[in-house]
């Protein structure tokens, strides 16, 4: 479970990020983010797993894996994501966890580079 301070909770936040955010597409999903570096707030994350991705068990497993990857990334990059809000929209389920981790890390690294411009 992500810390409460790192969770997106309201539907309006999700919609705002989707409308105004920068989209980074990947094989298994799309990372959408909004950056406001002037804020010193911790990064916020939300996950959307489409019903096109398997049954409820598979979707829940995927969301748990995504939360785990984000927790890992936050522990290794504690301050680089401050002032950013993220939404990850999953499109398909990967065969191996390591492939998903590699892709999401790459997308998060791209967002850091893009957000500092």
The pTM of the full predicted model, rounded to 2 decimals, is 0.89
pLDDT at 23: 93
Average pLDDT over residues 13-34: 91
Q: What is the pLDDT of residues 51-91, one digit of tens each?
A: 888 899 999 999 999 999 999 998 888 778 888 899 999 99
Is the confidence at residue 36, as pLDDT, over 80?
Answer: no
Q: Which residues contact 41 (CB under 8 A, 6 or more apart)?
A: 82, 83
SS3 17: helix
| Tokens 């309201």, residue located | 10
Quickly state the pLDDT bin for 38 (edges 50, 70, 90).
low
Is it the case that residue 35 has pLDDT exceeding 90?
no
Give me the DSSP letters along 6-56. Answer: GB---HHHHHHHHHHSEEEE-SSEEEEEEE-TT--PPPEEEEEE-TTSSSH
């Amino acid at each position: 479970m992500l810390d409460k301070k790192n969770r997106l909770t309201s539907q309006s936040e999700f919609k705002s990020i989707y409308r105004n955010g920068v989209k980074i597409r990947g094989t298994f999903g799309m990372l959408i983010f909004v950056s406001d570096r002037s804020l010193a707030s911790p990064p916020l994350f939300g996950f959307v797993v489409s019903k096109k991705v398997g049954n409820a068990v598979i979707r829940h497993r995927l969301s748990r894996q995504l939360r785990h990857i984000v927790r890992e990334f936050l522990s290794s990059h504690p301050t680089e994501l401050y002032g950013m809000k993220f939404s990850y929209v999953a499109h398909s389920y990967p065969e191996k966890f390591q492939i998903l981790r590699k892709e999401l890390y790459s997308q998060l690294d791209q967002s850091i580079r893009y957000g500092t411009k």
